[in-house]
A = this chain, B = another copy of it.
């Protein structure tokens, strides 16, 4: 039931993504491709991360949205360089869109580049952008059955941030079930439990980012 041309599109995408990867490597740039379902907290996470790290790490953000520049404006207010991509209907970012956005980032003067993908647990998992790691967010309000329903994203991610843990008393979400299912799909994934509302657990994430900055 796949669209027959997808393979060709992915091959072209991967070629461009490999060019990006080489460029990022040469410039000692850590690039994180941030994915989640709509409303899981990607932009809120970036606001906290920029707020905490901007004094010591030079941060840029490429914001992907179908339309609107509201998220890029939030990033600017948080204190990082931001570029907005509007995909004009497309449900994911691809490497060519990143190519169009990169000239707006001075990558020689940047240590860490976040790419905030379109809110979607499906297609962003298939498109390599040349990043070092995919980092995904799951909100506890989405429920504990998401890993088994959207396994590719959990398989591709190197880090899973389980967000909105302040809502745990009010939702049906079994954290052990999430951990068990995710680790079966992806035994090497790093899992952090966080709340962007109360800031609980965010220090572990900040530490992970600092540990992966290239020197």
Shortest C-beta distance, A1 to chain B (Å), equals 6
Among residues of B, the one whose C-beta sits closest to the C-beta of A123 is: B91
Among residues of B, the one whose C-beta sits closest to the C-beta of A164 is: B141
Which of the segments A26-34, A113-121, A203-211 contacts the partner chain? A113-121
B1 engages A96 (CB within 8 Å): yes
CB of A149 closer than 8 Å to a CB of B: yes
A150 to B37: give the CA distance in the assembly, Å.
12
CB of A143 closer than 8 Å to a CB of B: yes
With A119-B121, A166-B170, A167-B170 as known contacts, state yes or no: A143 contacts B90, CB within 8 Å.
Answer: no
B149 engages A68 (CB within 8 Å): yes
A residues 80-126 with Cβ under 8 Å of B? 87-91, 94, 96-97, 118-123, 126
CB of A145 closer than 8 Å to a CB of B: yes
Name the B residues within 8 Å of A38 (CB-CB).
37, 121, 142, 146, 149-150
A122 to B39: give the CA distance in the assembly, Å.
13
**Given A37-B38, A67-B149, A123-B123, 17 more pairs with CB closer than 8 A:** A2-B90, A3-B90, A38-B146, A39-B142, A40-B142, A66-B149, A66-B150, A66-B151, A67-B151, A68-B148, A68-B149, A70-B148, A91-B91, A118-B122, A119-B121, A141-B142, A167-B171
B122 engages A121 (CB within 8 Å): no
A123 to B159: give the CA distance in the assembly, Å.
26
With A1-B87, A97-B1 as known contacts, state yes or no: A145 contacts B70, CB within 8 Å.
Answer: yes
